[in-house]
Amino acid sequence: MAVLVKERAARVRPAPVAALPLGCILRGDCIEAMRALPSASIDMIFADPPYNLQLGGDLSRPDGSHVDAVTNDWDKFTSFATYDTFTREWLIEARRLLKPDGSIWVIGSYHNIFRVGALLQDLGFWILNDIVWRKANPMPNFKGTRFTNAHETLIWASKCDKSRYTFNYRAMKTLNDELQMRSDWVLPICSGAERIRKDGVKAHPTQKPEALLYRVLLATTNPGDVVLDPFFGTGTTGAVARRLGRHWIGCERDEGYIAVAEQRIEAALPLDESALKTMQSRKTAPRVAFGALVEAGWISPGAELVDRKARYRATVRADGSIEAGAEPGSIHGIGAALQGAPSCNGWTFWHVLHEGEVKPLDALRQLYLLATED
């Protein structure tokens, strides 16, 4: 029988930030590492746990080449019961660590996410959304025996049903070109220059794209919040948190992953404070939202936009809004306001420096589409 962990009558006072090992990777077993942290000390947890993949032998492409899959020992469990016990133990610690108004994200596949969801509810978490991350460029099903696995699922849950969790609704709408952000996210998998390799081999088999963490952190945390990643891997959460002005703590037992993560995070330059501002709480529907280019790294927060004749200038902010003077808004709205016009196509009006050339935003949009097409 599932045991529901109830709220204590007297809430634990949140631990001061100064008492936490901020910006550190805690080595060893994640459950033991979490037990060493003070209760009610974490604003948000992002967890990418082992999926417990049940793979039936090696996987090959039609040309006979081998497909790199997850065959690491950390993803192997002797039974579903063993996996459930492991999941329950780290989730109990996660709930203890969250502040009263904190929240947790867990990502998984069909192999494990339903088991995780049931345990979250059994332990008293309150599920807010399930997000479908639809991969713009998924790996095909080479054997042709099933549908292509083109998505993963993220569960977002608050500590309890009374939690006043953080949700930056307005920033998400701005990031999505003034359309309400939906629960189906189309983002490419980690590939190309972003995919970390050592001696030509993937440093981690399940490295997540930074764009995914960018959206999660921007949506459900604020600058200065403390984010914990119990399954730190190569440090995607830490790198994005550092860029966005959030504190981070990681747990990881593999020294190889730790070495990669430390080097990677060191190279992640924090954004200027003015660029971290987001919209606080006009309708166009381009094929790609301007915010998608920002979260994918094609345009950096803090970058300067100019019109073709360099009469007007604006600064890009972290959520895809832009600022010209005191008034922030979308690329379309600010362009129209500056010209005193009823409307403006920000994609063709605004230009940005890219690879040594000043190009219209639409040129970068087309490059992004080419890079992420199936």
Per-residue pLDDT of the chain (374 residues; tens, 9 = 90+): 344 444 443 456 777 776 899 999 999 999 999 999 999 999 999 999 998 876 444 444 444 444 454 455 545 678 889 999 999 999 999 999 999 999 999 999 998 999 999 999 999 999 999 999 998 877 777 677 889 889 999 999 999 999 999 999 999 999 998 889 999 999 988 666 666 667 666 655 666 888 999 999 999 999 999 999 999 988 899 999 999 999 999 999 989 889 888 888 888 778 777 777 777 663 333 468 999 999 999 999 999 999 998 999 999 999 999 999 877 999 999 999 999 898 899 999 999 998 888 999 988 988 888 777 64
Helices (H), the chain: 30-35, 80-97, 113-122, 169-175, 210-220, 236-243, 255-266, 290-295, 331-339, 346-349, 361-372
Contact 187, 144 (CB under 8 A): no
Q: Is the pTM of this model over 0.85?
A: no
pLDDT at residue 282 in the model: 37
pLDDT score at 74: 46
47: β partners: 106
Q: Which helix (H) or strand (E) segment is 139 a member of?
A: none
- Percent of the chain as helix, strand, coil, to the nearest 5: 30, 20, 45
* Predicted local distance difference test score (pLDDT) of residue 287: 64
Q: Tokens for 25, please give them.
A: 């990777």
How much is the pLDDT for 112?
93
- Helix then strand count (H, E) for the chain reads 11, 16
